[in-house]
Chains A and B, each alone.
Chain A
Amino acid sequence: MPSLFQQIQAGALWDFHGGVHPPVRKTQTSSKPIANLPLPDRLYLPVRQHIGVAGQLSITTGERVLKGQALTFADNSMVVPVHAPTSGTIIAITEHTSPHPSALPETVIVLEPDGADEWRPRQPLNIVSCDNQTILERIQDNGIAGMGGAGFPTHLKAGMSQPVDYLIINAVECEPYISADDALMQEAPTTIVKGIDILCKLLNPKAVLIGIEDDKPIAIAALKAACSQREHYYVREVPVKYPSGGEKQLIQLLTNKEVPAGRRPADIGIVMQNVGTAFAVAQAVLDDHPLISRIVTVTGETLVHPQNVHALIGTPVAALLDFCGFQAEQRQKVIMGGPMMGFTLPDLSVPVVKTTNCILAPTATELPDAGPELDCIRCSSCADACPATLLPQQLLWYSKAKDHDKLQEYNLADCIECGACAYVCPSEIPLVQYYRIAKADIREQQREALKAEQAKARFEARNARLEAEKQARLARNQQLAAAREQAQQQSGATNAVADALTRIKTKQAEHAAEKTREQILAEREQKKQQARDYQAQKAASAKQDEPTQGALSADDSSATKNAAVAAAIARAKAKKEQAALTADTATTNASDTEQPGNSEAIDPRQAAVAAAIARAKAKKEQAALTTDTATTNASDTEQPGNNEAIDPRQAAVAAAIARAKARKATAKLEGEE
């Protein structure tokens, strides 16, 4: 029995379960040369184009940047910076539709090219003489992230400390239509191999396996020729089958190993990189050329010239499509990525990012929409097609039932969302969609469970704290009482006082027992009001004192503050009362005489309704009363020239409220939309 390594050396290939054979339709682009796109008017560079966190901005609006200049910088290892694809001016740092299925806005840097295409100074590295750390830093600083799909930072994968047996270069490109990697391999096989050399230097694997689907004869020949000098590089032709380019599937195809659930390939001594990434690594290390452009397949039958193009990162999709002669249909679908795993774009201003390998604009007859979803007939075609050997029909059932425990039991987490199941399903059930939702639900539930745990801990901690405080207070009170008693006894006072106290207490208790909840609330409200009146009066008197007392600055400021507080109270209450008034009037008119009149106008009606004795109403009424007094007080005090002192603050508040209102309004609008 030869060892695995010997088998691999001998050229053995394995197979993975399932898979489908959708029509590939690659020839319309793969045989043409790669075109160069004219410079677009604007480049939109999302600050985060990889898995991880966004870098810190290192430029400001209005700054001129050079081609290849870093726009963000990395302050930890999870950051991959982005670079200016050409020289020009940063005209904005703003929110823009993201290249994500949700199309939610995210931060982008908008660059206006100046056409000079002026490079920053570059320092090519000599890889023979420098150590791995320098190379890794170079890879990170030049913004290299996986170009195959997910965009995992390359320096993390290449800087793995675990020993690596096999480095697999993924050149399979199994999705229909896409031929970007194919074109790259035809055009630059030697650079790719140089990139692989660098990765080998970093990882030191036993062998390099390059997996290519066997429908790309020219690319295979080119790579084989380029690898001919390297002993342990093996170019492997894998049969055409979707999704053989999936990480786990390719590993199984080439090495017959399975990545254990929940682990990473590195745990079984395998690292996989995309060919595009290998190319980018070579450029970054050898030429100090950061990742600022990539090859994108622009295809579909609505295009007059489907082809592969060199596109700068940040180029809006519209520019690509227009370049290729886009003739949109009614209700056109524009897909970023391939037909199996890509997502549709809501508009064409979405930019090309590091992971964009294809823009697909098919006609409605080319990729027809799924028909109406019918009932699952349990035909198991999906299970036969699933590369992860799941049972999609059972997962569907449990997803619909929202039975998350069962979903986990049936290993929903191992679904790679390849879409093979939905592709074959005769009932046209959007299976993947169900799984995505179920997965998101499960994630959310886990998050929530974690949060509940934290909340509980905090709640308990708080209770414990309150309890401790109470005990401490009790102890102190007892101490004090004891001390007082001693003092009283010493001073000869009799128990008469204590008797009186207990009498009062019992009376109070009786009284309290009689009171209903409403009364208590009303009382509390009254007290609140009194307190506010008092505060307002204090503020007023403080101000009235002001002119006579002269200008003691400390007094002045505290008076101002008090007035502001009173005004704030008044304003807030007024706002509650007068929902119809706009934010502006609610704040600036707080001192208007119009207000009391207004609330009086409301009062009778309220009184009539109050016959229904709603507690809430009563409270409101009281609030209105408070407003009355408070506003008059406030207006009294605000008149004598203090306005200027308060104004900025008022303005700020007004602005804040206006903002909140605007936000609410927009939220509402959005909701309606």
Chain B
Amino acid sequence: MTLITALLALGVLALLFGALLGYSAIRFKVESDPLVEQIDDILPQTQCGQCGYPGCRPYAEAIANGDDINKCPPGGEATIKKLAELMGVEAKPLNAAQEPAVKRVAFIREDECIGCTKCIQACPVDAILGASKLMHTVIAEECTGCDLCVEPCPVDCIDMIPIPVTPERWKWDLQAIPVKLVE
């Protein structure tokens, strides 16, 4: 008899909680972007293709379909962490192993440019300005540092230069600010 009461009580409780859960799931439903959108928002939008996909969005789609989350070198650690959180998986170290140490932008040595427009075609974010047979230049503000324009240039006049540190961008170093000898 006690057994039956216990079972009954448990059953009723289970039902109750189940109903409660179900109700709250409907009642407090969070409207959210489709997964791909969310992933795409996390990715750095460099469009560099280093992940093996032709851009950030395709990679986002691939992640949504179960690809690894650690293929984006420009995003680095932070992106992986966020992706791991979103996807509910373990954060892994970057698989490409070579994280870009410093942020860089492309720079065209302008007197050497022959105006072939190849770099314009390569640039995913239209950060290069120029016309056929005329000098080209990079709008540094818009350049994502993806490297894609370097290879196509037939005269190798594109350099990737590190973004200079200014007092605004400068960060305190935790341990020692390098001490330099004066005089």
- Chains A and B in contact, CB within 8 Å: yes
CB distance from B55 to the nearest CB of A (A): 7
Asked if A39 lies at the interface with its beta carbon under 8 angstroms from chain B, I say: no
The stretch among B13-21, B28-36, B92-100, B172-180 that forms the contact with chain A is: B172-180
A568 touches B167 (CB 8 A): no
B180 touches A453 (CB 8 A): no
B180 touches A346 (CB 8 A): yes
Which residues of B in the span 100-114 have a Cβ within 8 Å of any Cβ on A? Answer: 109, 111-112, 114
Interchain CA distance A510-B112 in the complex, whole Å = 41
Interface centre among A100, A104, A453, A657 (most CB of B within 10 A): A104
Would A440 and B172 be within 8 Å (CB), given that A100-B167, A528-B154, A656-B111 are in contact?
yes
B112 touches A459 (CB 8 A): no
Minimal Cβ-Cβ distance residue in B for A528 = B154
| Binary per-residue interface labels of chain B (147-167) against chain A in the complex, 1 for a CB within 8 Å, 0 otherwise | 000000011110100100111
Asked if A509 lies at the interface with its beta carbon under 8 angstroms from chain B, I say: no
Interface centre among B56, B167, B172 (most CB of A within 10 A): B172
B45 touches A653 (CB 8 A): no
Which residues of B in the span 37-69 have a Cβ within 8 Å of any Cβ on A? Answer: 40, 43-47, 55-56
Interchain CA distance A433-B166 in the complex, whole Å = 19
The stretch among A120-128, A220-228, A569-577 that forms the contact with chain B is: A569-577
CB distance from A416 to the nearest CB of B (A): 16
CB distance from B177 to the nearest CB of A (A): 8
Asked if A620 lies at the interface with its beta carbon under 8 angstroms from chain B, I say: no
Minimal Cβ-Cβ distance residue in A for B85 = A405
Chain A neighbourhood of B155, CB < 8 A: 568-569, 572
Which residues of A in the span 249-277 have a Cβ within 8 Å of any Cβ on B? Answer: none
Interchain CA distance A437-B166 in the complex, whole Å = 16
Interchain CA distance A652-B157 in the complex, whole Å = 14
Interchain CA distance A646-B77 in the complex, whole Å = 50
CB distance from A468 to the nearest CB of B (A): 14
Asked if A118 lies at the interface with its beta carbon under 8 angstroms from chain B, I say: no
B111 touches A649 (CB 8 A): yes
Partner of A458, one of B40, B127, B179: B127
Asked if B182 lies at the interface with its beta carbon under 8 angstroms from chain A, I say: yes
A459 touches B78 (CB 8 A): no
Interchain CA distance A568-B180 in the complex, whole Å = 41
Asked if B171 lies at the interface with its beta carbon under 8 angstroms from chain A, I say: yes
Minimal Cβ-Cβ distance residue in A for B155 = A572
Partner of A572, one of B112, B167, B177: B112
Minimal Cβ-Cβ distance residue in B for A461 = B126
Asked if A434 lies at the interface with its beta carbon under 8 angstroms from chain B, I say: yes
Asked if B125 lies at the interface with its beta carbon under 8 angstroms from chain A, I say: yes
**How many A residues have CB within 8 A of the partner chain?**
48
Which residues of A in the span 390-429 have a Cβ within 8 Å of any Cβ on B? Answer: 402
Query: Interface of chain B, helix or strand or loop or mixed?
Result: loop
Would A660 and B45 be within 8 Å (CB), given that A346-B180, A462-B126 are in contact?
no
Chain A neighbourhood of B43, CB < 8 A: 452
Would A347 and B182 be within 8 Å (CB), given that A455-B125, A455-B142, A462-B125 are in contact?
yes
Asked if A456 lies at the interface with its beta carbon under 8 angstroms from chain B, I say: yes
Asked if B73 lies at the interface with its beta carbon under 8 angstroms from chain A, I say: no
A656 touches B125 (CB 8 A): no
CB distance from B109 to the nearest CB of A (A): 5
Interchain CA distance A581-B22 in the complex, whole Å = 74
When A and B form their complex, what is the total count of cross-chain residue pairs whose Cβ atoms lie within 8 Å?
103
CB distance from A369 to the nearest CB of B (A): 12
Interchain CA distance A673-B171 in the complex, whole Å = 18
Minimal Cβ-Cβ distance residue in A for B47 = A459
Chain A neighbourhood of B124, CB < 8 A: 459, 462
Asked if A293 lies at the interface with its beta carbon under 8 angstroms from chain B, I say: no
CB distance from B126 to the nearest CB of A (A): 5
Would A673 and B180 be within 8 Å (CB), given that A458-B142, A569-B155, A656-B112 are in contact?
yes
**How many B residues have CB within 8 A of the partner chain?**
39
Would A576 and B156 be within 8 Å (CB), given that A434-B174, A440-B171, A458-B126 are in contact?
yes
A652 touches B45 (CB 8 A): no
Asked if B144 lies at the interface with its beta carbon under 8 angstroms from chain A, I say: yes
B125 touches A433 (CB 8 A): no
A104 touches B154 (CB 8 A): no
Chain A neighbourhood of B56, CB < 8 A: 456, 459
Asked if A102 lies at the interface with its beta carbon under 8 angstroms from chain B, I say: yes
Interchain CA distance A101-B56 in the complex, whole Å = 38
A569 touches B154 (CB 8 A): yes
B125 touches A458 (CB 8 A): yes
Chain B neighbourhood of A652, CB < 8 A: 111
Asked if A565 lies at the interface with its beta carbon under 8 angstroms from chain B, I say: yes
Chain A neighbourhood of B159, CB < 8 A: 660
B46 touches A455 (CB 8 A): yes
CB distance from A134 to the nearest CB of B (A): 33
CB distance from B151 to the nearest CB of A (A): 10
Interchain CA distance A453-B40 in the complex, whole Å = 10
| Binary per-residue interface labels of chain A (656-673) against chain B in the complex, 1 for a CB within 8 Å, 0 otherwise | 110010000001000001
CB distance from A596 to the nearest CB of B (A): 20
Partner of A437, one of B44, B112, B172, B180: B172
Chain B neighbourhood of A104, CB < 8 A: 165-167, 170
Minimal Cβ-Cβ distance residue in A for B121 = A466
B182 touches A459 (CB 8 A): no
Chain B neighbourhood of A402, CB < 8 A: 78
Chain B neighbourhood of A100, CB < 8 A: 167, 170
Partner of B111, one of A433, A576, A653, A667: A653
| Binary per-residue interface labels of chain A (560-591) against chain B in the complex, 1 for a CB within 8 Å, 0 otherwise | 00000100110011011000000000000000
CB distance from B169 to the nearest CB of A (A): 8
B174 touches A433 (CB 8 A): yes
Asked if A7 lies at the interface with its beta carbon under 8 angstroms from chain B, I say: no
Which residues of A in the span 96-115 have a Cβ within 8 Å of any Cβ on B? Answer: 98, 100-102, 104, 106
Asked if A454 lies at the interface with its beta carbon under 8 angstroms from chain B, I say: yes
A98 touches B111 (CB 8 A): no
Interchain CA distance A440-B171 in the complex, whole Å = 6
Q: Name 13 extra pairs, CB < 8 A, besides A104-B166, A347-B180, A455-B44.
A: A100-B170, A102-B170, A346-B180, A430-B174, A444-B171, A448-B44, A452-B43, A453-B45, A576-B156, A649-B111, A656-B111, A660-B159, A673-B180
User: Can you list 17 residue pairs at the A/B interface with Cβ under 8 Å?
Assistant: A102-B167, A102-B177, A346-B179, A434-B174, A436-B172, A444-B171, A448-B44, A452-B43, A452-B44, A452-B45, A454-B142, A455-B125, A455-B144, A456-B56, A572-B112, A572-B157, A656-B111
The 3 A-B pairs with the shortest beta carbon distances in the complex, nearest first, are A347-B182, A452-B45, A456-B45
